[in-house]
Structure formats: structure tokens, C-alpha cells
Amino acid sequence: MATLRASVNELYTGTGRRSVLFRYVMFAFDLATIGYFIAVTPFPKTDVMYVINGALAVIIFLDFVARLWIAPDKKEHLSHVYVWADVIVLGTLVLNPLLAVDFSFLRILRGLRLAHSFYLLQDLRGSSRFFRMREDAVVAALNLIVFVFTTTSAVYTLLVTERTGWEAYVDALYFTVTTFTTTGYGDITPTTMGGKLAAICIMVLGVSLFLHLARVIVMPSKVNHTCPRCGLTRHDADAVHCKHCGAVVHIKTDGAG
């Protein structure tokens, strides 16, 4: 078991080519899974969908168990928001057919893993200059996208009752975007207390995420690099010394070996 655990740990946390490739494959799997969850939202559930959902549940469960197994501090690992997002996704995949209310829109929370996976972020910092220079903006954009499509699917599932299909889903997306941007054209308005409370939540959370994205875009770019002496994690892209303690920092650049 110790050998197996070491092999799994190497896949998830190692720096070798096989480990990096494995993490990019899991990244592609997450992207495909999120796209699938969004694409099937407007359509009636079929037997084929239940089979696909079951297969996805098995893969996500194995990934969840593997990450928990190799975690040096399991309590700290379970405190991460993306870990609980996986628990919610698994719950909707397994229990949703047994529930009276459709909670399948929560499956899009799987997207939180894209923005909060430590070793994947390390891989992207090492392989993409654009990501190194715009990491905060990319993460903020991913958080906003997850919020938009999770909210859109929730609005479609819980509030749209008159129509189904892609046209109704686009209406839900239109309502979500116009609400969190406070545009409010007024052609689609909530009429129930639940709908009005949902609109308030969308405005508060959406505006906060949107303003955060705007802030990190206009702020001077920082790169994520931990100072070996004081632990400061944000530095100017061309920094040679840490602004906090003065220690030499070796930030990777395009010209670095």
C-alpha cells in the first residue's frame, strides 16, 4: 500500500513529465465535464445521461478519494472550498434522481477546482508566461464564469417554468447577466418572493466578483513567487529583491534557464 500511495502522490504532486501530463489530462477532464453539465441542463434527463452521470461520478469519486488519501493534513485538505464543491457534485450525481427538486445545476461548481488546484496552478506558472503575468485575473475570471453558469442553471431549473430548451436557458443567462451587472432592462423580471430574493443574491455576489475581476485587471501585474525568507507571495514581474525583506528572489522569466 505504501508503494501505491507513493505512486499516486507522485502523479498528483510530482514535477516529472508524467505527473504534469496527468494533471493536464485531469484539467481537460474537468473542462469537458463542466461543458457537459452546462450543455445538458436545458434537456430532459434520459437513460444515456444517467449512464454518463454514473461514469462521471465514479471518476470524480476516485479522484476525490485519491486526493484525500495522499493529503499530509486531511483536516486541512477538507477545509478547501473546491473539496466541498466535489462533495456537492458527487451528491447531485448520486442522489439527484431520488430527490423531488433538481439540484443538477450545482454540478457546475466542479469548475472551482480549475481555479484552486495548487499543483495545476504551479504547472501553469511554469509553462505559460501569460498565466504567470495574469494569474489573479485568470482565477477571478474563472470564479466569475462558474458563478454565472451555476446561477444561470439554478434560475433555469428553479424559476423558469413556462418554457424549456435552449431558448429558455438563454433567457435565464440573460436575466443572470443583466441582474449582476445591474443593467436591469426590465423585460424579464421576477414576480415571486423567491425570485426577488434570488435577484438580490445575484446582484450582491455578482457585483462583488465582477468588481474584483476589474480590480485585478487594472492593477499592476504581480507574479506568484514565494520569498524564501519572509514568505511574501506577490512580486513585480522583474523583481530581483523582495520588497518586504530585501532577500534575493529568483523569479522565472522567459530568459531564465
What value does the mean pLDDT take over residues 151-156?
A: 88
pLDDT attached to residue 56: 93
Sign of CA dihedral 61, 67, 70, 73: negative
Separation between Cα atoms, residue 12 and residue 38, nearest integer Å = 27
Do 33 and 4 share a structural domain?
A: yes
Number of domains in the chain: 3
- The three-state secondary structure class of 241 is strand
167 and 200 share one domain:
yes
pLDDT at residue number 214: 87
Domain assignment present for residue 129? The answer is no
Check whether residue 120 and residue 39 sit in a common domain: yes
CA 7/CA 11 separation, integer angstroms: 6
Whether 143 is covered by a domain: the verdict is: yes
pLDDT at 256: 45
pLDDT for 118 equals: 60
End-to-end CA distance of the chain: 38
Which residues 6+ apart lie within 8 Å of 66 measured at CB? 8, 12
pLDDT given at position 8: 92
> Residue 140's pLDDT is what?
86
120 and 1 belong to one structural domain: yes
* Domain end marker among 103, 124, 145: 124
Strand-pairing partners, residue 223, are: 235
Answer with the one of 124, 155, 173 that is the final residue of a domain.
124
CA 180/CA 202 separation, integer angstroms: 6
Together in a domain, 13 and 114:
yes
Residue-wise pLDDT for 156-171, tens only, equals 888 776 667 788 888 8
Are 1 and 114 in a shared domain?
yes
Q: What mean pLDDT do residues 228-236 have?
A: 79
Read off the pLDDT of residues 181-223 as tens digits, 9 standing for 90 and up: 888 777 778 878 888 888 898 889 888 988 888 888 877 667 7
Comparing CA positions, the residue from 52, 143, 145 lying closest to residue 104 is 52
Residue 224 forms beta bridges with which residues? 234
Query: Of 35-44, 73-82, 96-105, 241-250, where does mean pLDDT reach its minimum?
Result: 96-105
- Secondary structure tally for the chain: helices H, strands E: 11, 2
Q: Helix, strand, or coil here: 206?
A: helix
Q: Note the pLDDT tens digit of each residue in 124-146.
A: 766 777 777 777 788 888 888 88
How sure is the predictor about 257, in pLDDT bands with cuts at 50, 70 and 90?
very low
On whether both 56 and 21 belong to a single domain, the answer is yes
246 and 171 assigned to the same domain: no
CATH number of 163's domain: 1.10.287.70
CA distances (Å), 27 to each of 6, 117, 164, in order?
21, 10, 31
Looking at the structure, do residues 11 and 74 belong to the same domain, yes or no? yes
Q: What is the pLDDT of residues 9-50, one digit of tens each?
A: 998 888 888 988 998 898 889 889 988 998 888 888 888 999
Residue 139 lies in a domain: yes
Q: What is the pLDDT of residue 61?
A: 95
> Domain ends where: 59, 94, 124?
124
- CA distance linking residue 237 with residue 255, whole number of Å: 13
How far, rounded to the nearest angstrom, does the alpha carbon of residue 199 sit from its chain's CA centroid?
22
Q: Give yes or no: residues 55 and 36 share one domain.
A: yes
List the alpha helices (DSSP H) in 41-80.
47-70, 74-77
Asked if residue 65 and residue 4 are part of one domain, the reply reads yes
Structural domain that includes position 43: 1-124
Residues 56 and 70 in one domain: yes
The pLDDT assigned to 157 comes to 82
d(CA 246, CA 235): 12
- Main-chain phi, psi angles of 248, to 5 degrees: -70, 130
Asked whether residue 77 is assigned to any structural domain, the reply reads yes
Closest C-alpha among 119, 124, 112, 186 to residue 149: 112
The pLDDT tens digits of the residues spanning 87-138 come to 999 999 988 877 767 788 888 888 877 766 666 766 676 677 777 777 778 8
